[in-house]
Amino acid sequence: MNRNVNKKEYPRHIARRTALQAMYGHVMNSAENFEKLLSDVTSLGDSLPEPVEEFSQELLEAAIERVELANSVIMKVIENWELSRINILDRCILYIGIAEFIDFPDIAPNITIDEAVELAKEFGSLDSPKFVNGILDAVLRVLIEMKMVEKPEFRVENEKQ
């Protein structure tokens, strides 16, 4: 298996990147209109194929709906930190990852964490990938304990869809 694959070209990675940018707009501006948030992001580049746009919108909607839950779970796993100390972009990546854990059971948690780390490498600080990886791993354990995510079977899925 060739591990030197450019994941940035995968449709679902493009959808996650788009959802992240729109989520950032939501957090910064308290905007609620999903279509407007996504259209603002996509207006800056090429239009997205329909399946990519659909996944991106579903992910964004789930992430926005889950912000309060995500914040409470993140607070359970961060020690001696305030939520406000977490970089906004890292927080947005965490929101998307948490929504994906809960609302997209067809996506293996290891894929979700790997994709979140890729987004952190692409958009975050030097410390973001390690931070996002650690927090999402801990959050996943809490969500499993809360019975919000079934105990995952770590499997490799085809994310090229």
Domain ranges of the chain: 9-145
Distance, first Cα to last Cα, the chain: 17
Angstrom distance (rounded) from CA 144 to CA 152: 8
Place of tokens 């950032």: 24
DSSP assigned state of 31: -
Alpha carbon 21 to its chain's center: 11
- pLDDT tops 70 at residue 135: yes
pTM confidence score? 0.84
Query: Is a pLDDT exceeding 90 seen at residue 49?
Result: no
pLDDT digits (tens, 9 = 90+) for 2-48: 455 556 678 999 999 989 988 988 787 765 655 666 565 555 555 67
Residues 88-131 have pLDDT tens digits of: 999 999 999 999 999 999 999 999 999 999 999 999 999 999 99
CATH of the structural domain 9-145, one choice from 3.30.750.24, 1.10.940.10, 3.40.50.1370, 3.40.50.10860:
1.10.940.10
133: exposed, middle or buried (Cβ count in 10 Å: 0-12, 13-18, 19+):
middle
